[in-house]
Amino acid sequence: MLLSFVIVACNSTKKDANKENKIVENTTYSSFGDTISTLDYLSSNDALSNYNALKLGDTINFKFNANIKEVCSKKGCWMTLSAGNNDETIMVRFKDYGFFMPLDAAGKEVIVAGKAFVNEVSVADLKHYAEDAGKSSEEIANITEPAMEFAFEANGVLLKK
Mean pLDDT value across residues 39-55: 94
What's the rounded Cα separation, in Å, for the pair 43 and 91? 16
The DSSP 8-state label assigned to residue 31 in this structure reads: E
pTM of the model: 0.75
pLDDT tens track for 120-161: 999 999 999 898 888 999 999 999 999 999 999 999 999 999
Cβ atoms of 129 and 139 within 8 Å: the answer is: no
* Domain 28-160 class, CATH top level: mainly beta
* DSSP per-residue letters across 67-136: EEEEE-TTT--EEEEE-TTSS-EEEEEEGGG-----TT-TT-EEEEEEEEEEEEE-HHHHHHHHHHTT--
- Tell me the percentage of the chain whose pLDDT exceeds 90: 74
Nearest to 33 by CA among 99, 108, 97, 102: 99
Average pLDDT score, the chain: 85
What's the rounded Cα separation, in Å, for the pair 108 and 131? 22
Domain limits of the chain? 28-160
Whether the per-residue pLDDT at 44 is higher than 60: the answer is yes
Of 25-34, 67-76, 102-111, the least confident: 25-34
